[in-house]
């Protein structure tokens, strides 16, 4: 028992379960070109990238560990890639279901993609790998196909500034202003905003707040980032005005509460009390 748990931990295969991803890519074949592997005495349901040797033995390959699989006749050797199950939860029923030809996993703020293609001439499956990661101080989030790195960016001089400068701050990083696209993102945003009060507050303002995506045009808010579904997932502070008036912009957290609210776009600071300290930006991920 302990043996394979230790093994999984040391390889940091901490996977995030995503219901609309395949559990498994399963093909008939055996390992052809690979860098290294482990042999485990365990049933192959417990392996992640595996070449099945018998019902109780399998050869284990880590991400990027194998590049070619030689096809065998059906019913012969089988190799499978299974990534989406959390390691502490093995499937109850047989997980060896055929899936599409790619799979993804999110580990340590990286999105790892494995793609399998078949070359009918050589009867070989080629495995190619891609890693998508985020620049320092940003976190990777997946938004219905879009991959974004979200973080707070701070004004330098002056340290408190307006919405136009917030937008420019994001654009300087090849990004845009953004806002929460779901509850997980909002939790992350709230946490980094709160921490910044202790780490990025040299002028000791009572509250730091950040411009987020949304500027009034009298009838609606306009957005720079189309991937967070407008204000759908914005959590509003109680009782605040949502006038959508021209010249009104959105920021988070509200200085009096915790949630999002509206304020004149030209605001920079309120003496000793509030500083619009920067911007919540989404910037492009790094694709290796």
Q: Which residues bind ligand NAG (CB under 6 A)?
A: 173-174, 191-192, 194-195, 197-198, 201, 204, 206-207, 235-238, 257-259
When the beta carbons of 163 and 186 are compared against ligand NAG, the nearer one is 186
User: Of 174, 189, 175, which Cα lies nearest the Cα of 235?
Assistant: 189
User: How many other CB atoms sit within 10 Å of the CB of residue 49?
Assistant: 26
The CB-of-169 to ligand NAG minimum distance in angstroms stands at: 11
When the beta carbons of 58 and 170 are compared against ligand NAG, the nearer one is 170
The CB-of-145 to ligand NAG minimum distance in angstroms stands at: 21
When the beta carbons of 119 and 238 are compared against ligand NAG, the nearer one is 238
The CB-of-259 to ligand NAG minimum distance in angstroms stands at: 4
**Residue carrying structure tokens 């042999």:** 39
How far apart CA 226 and CA 208 sit, in angstroms, is: 26
The CB-of-197 to ligand NAG minimum distance in angstroms stands at: 4
The CB-of-250 to ligand NAG minimum distance in angstroms stands at: 14
The CB-of-85 to ligand NAG minimum distance in angstroms stands at: 24
CA distances 216 to 92, 148, 167, 201, 277, Å, are 52, 24, 14, 28, 20
When the beta carbons of 99 and 253 are compared against ligand NAG, the nearer one is 253
How far apart CA 63 and CA 157 sit, in angstroms, is: 44
Instruction: Count Cβ neighbours within 10 Å for each residue of 243-281 and write b for 16 or more, e otherwise.
Output: ebeeebbbbbbbbeeebbbbbebebbbeeeebbbbbbbb
Backbone angles phi, psi at 10, to 5 degrees: -70, -25
The answer to whether 260 and 242 have CB atoms below 8 angstroms apart is no
When the beta carbons of 30 and 242 are compared against ligand NAG, the nearer one is 242
Q: Which long-range contacts link 37-40 to residues 24+ away (Cβ below 8 Å)?
A: 37/61, 37/65, 37/66, 38/7, 40/3, 40/4, 40/7
When the beta carbons of 6 and 286 are compared against ligand NAG, the nearer one is 286
């Amino acid at each position: 028992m302990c043996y394979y748990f230790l093994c999984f931990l040391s390889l940091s295969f901490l996977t995030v379960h995503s219901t609309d991803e395949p559990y498994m890519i399963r093909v008939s074949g055996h390992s052809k070109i690979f860098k290294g592997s482990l042999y485990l005495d365990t049933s192959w349901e417990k392996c992640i990238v595996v070449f099945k040797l018998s019902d109780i033995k399998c050869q284990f390959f880590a991400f990027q560990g194998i590049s070619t699989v030689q096809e065998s006749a059906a019913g012969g050797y089988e190799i499978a890639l299974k990534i989406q199950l959390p390691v502490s939860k093995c499937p109850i029923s047989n997980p060896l279901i055929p899936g599409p030809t790619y799979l993804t996993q999110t580990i340590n703020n990286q999105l790892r993609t494995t793609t399998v293609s078949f070359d009918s001439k050589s009867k070989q499956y080629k495995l190619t790998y891609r890693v998508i990661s985020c620049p320092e101080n940003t976190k990777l989030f997946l938004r219905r196909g879009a991959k974004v790195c979200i973080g707070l960016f701070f004004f330098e001089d002056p340290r408190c500034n307006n919405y136009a400068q917030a937008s420019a701050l994001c654009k300087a990083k090849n990004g845009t202003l953004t806002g929460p696209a779901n509850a997980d993102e909002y939790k992350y945003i709230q946490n980094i905003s709160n921490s910044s009060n202790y780490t990025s507050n040299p002028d000791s303002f009572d509250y730091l707040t950040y411009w987020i995506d949304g500027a009034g045009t009298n009838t609606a808010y306009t957005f720079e980032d189309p991937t967070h579904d407008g204000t759908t997932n914005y959590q509003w502070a109680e009782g605040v005005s949502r006038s959508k008036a021209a010249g009104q912009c959105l920021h988070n957290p509200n200085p009096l509460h915790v949630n999002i609210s509206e304020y004149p776009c030209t605001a920079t600071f309120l003496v000793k009390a509030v500083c619009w300290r920067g911007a919540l930006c989404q910037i492009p991920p790094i694709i290796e």
